[in-house]
Amino acid sequence: MRIGIDCRTMLNPAGGERAGVGHYVFFLVRHLLRQDRKNTYVLFFDERFPREEAKAIATSGKHVETVFFPLGRYKKFLPVAYSHFLVAAVMEQKKLDVIHIPGGAMPMGLHIPTIVTVHDLAIYAHPEWFPKQDLSTKVTYPRTLRVADHLIAVSETTKKDVVQRFHISPRRITTVYPGVDRTADDAALHASITRTLRLRKPYVLFLGTLEPRKNIRTVIEGFVAAWKKDRIVQEMELLLAGAPGWADGGAQVAVKKAAVQTKGAVRMLGYVSREEKRALLQSARIFVFPSFAEGFGLPIIEALALGIPTIISDIPVFHEVAAHAAFFADPKKPAAFEKALIRVVSDGVLQQRLSIAGKKRAAFFSWDKTARQTLAIYRKVGAKKR
């Protein structure tokens, strides 16, 4: 088979990802190419993507081709023509048996058997958390869900949302969980990053894009309240690592206020590379993820895999992902995160239980498994063409 994968979300390959979807595409492609040398893979990149990085991704051999979409810089002038018809024309030229769109809408004008990964539908439940994008939400994405040959959901929660909101048959959707990055540690690099990011005190870590649905202000207010009450928390910092989104939900204002209230114990680190992210997770005392809504929650599994005691929102998808390996708190109540922080930092037995349970739970997820299950879907959909 000739299998195409749209890799345009990999905007920072040197760091492994730019955000959650880019991370998913990076590791999925890497593991597919390692496992499958029988089929030919055609990887589609934006022309801005560094050629040397694309070459590094495609090191598996002759069964990998790379294609760079032309005229990407002019997309803003002709967004529909570029995003749909030009992209479709380039893909059609490659005589593919199947194409995987791992994030976003299926291009109009595409007549190749298509698989689309659905990460979440939060924009439909809470449009106020996102920039306005009517063409996508009202036309192209609903069309994608209707006409794609098969859908991959990153969680059962996401699959249920697709079925209920768009009345898609569950037989057309397969849940395939993402995996965990288990890259070998580099002690020298870790030490360098520790110095660069000024990691001195024990710290509580948040990792993710600074955007409204991440609910960062709640964990900031919870940390400040805990810092004022608890001696152990007063010896810690709260570090927020992530790039700014289209809006930050009041995070930056809350950080400035909290820094004053806690004598600088709350810091915003900005975007961090994959290596920096791993170093931050390894050295964290506690990981927090207070999102209102997610399709899966990759940072949670990464923290659990390292045995970091983790406090997360009490929402259905996080129960599906973390099971009993995390401490849950109401995302609408800063006081809930305050109490959770104080409880976890002061209870060594609880920390040990969460650490052991986290590693055990994370073992269920692997990129090898993700790649195998995804490849099975490629074969099933590609066989229909033949």
pLDDT digits 0-9 by tens, 307-346 = 999 999 999 999 999 999 999 999 999 999 999 999 999 9
**21 φ, ψ (degrees, to nearest 5):** -65, -40
Percent of the chain predicted with pLDDT > 70: 92
Q: Do domains 2-179+366-385 and 187-362 have the same CATH topology?
A: yes
CATH code at 187-362: 3.40.50.2000
* Residue 289 β-bridge partners: 312
Question: Residue ranges of the domains in the chain?
Answer: 2-179+366-385, 187-362
Q: Closest Cα to residue 297, out of 218, 362, 223, 375?
A: 362
Matching residue, tokens 């406090």: 311
pLDDT(13) > 60: no
Write the DSSP symbol of residue 86: I
| Cα 102 from Cα 88, distance rounded (Å) | 15
Q: With b meaning 16 or more CB within 10 Å and e meaning fewer, what string describes 180-199?
A: bbeeeeeeeebeebbeebeb
pLDDT(79) > 60: no
pLDDT(29) > 70: yes
Name the token pair of 106.
Answer: 């299926």
**26 φ, ψ (degrees, to nearest 5):** -55, -50
Q: Indicate the helix (H) or strand (E) that contains 303.
A: helix 298-305
* Amino acid (1-letter code) at residue 223: F
Average pLDDT across the chain, whole number: 90
* Amino acid (1-letter code) at residue 127: P
Q: Closest Cα to residue 300, out of 15, 10, 13, 20?
A: 20
Write the DSSP symbol of residue 243: -
Mean pLDDT is lowest, of 77-86, 92-101, 167-176, 333-342, for 77-86
Higher pLDDT, 264 or 247: 264
2-179+366-385, what's its fold? Rossmann fold (3.40.50)
CA angle 73, 74, 79 (to 5 degrees): 120
pLDDT(284) > 60: yes
* pLDDT tens figures, 354-376: 999 999 999 999 999 999 999 99
Task: Find the length of the chain.
Answer: 386
Q: With b meaning 16 or more CB within 10 Å and e meaning fewer, what string describes 36-64?
A: beebbbbbbbbeebeeeebeebbebeebb
pLDDT(76) > 60: no
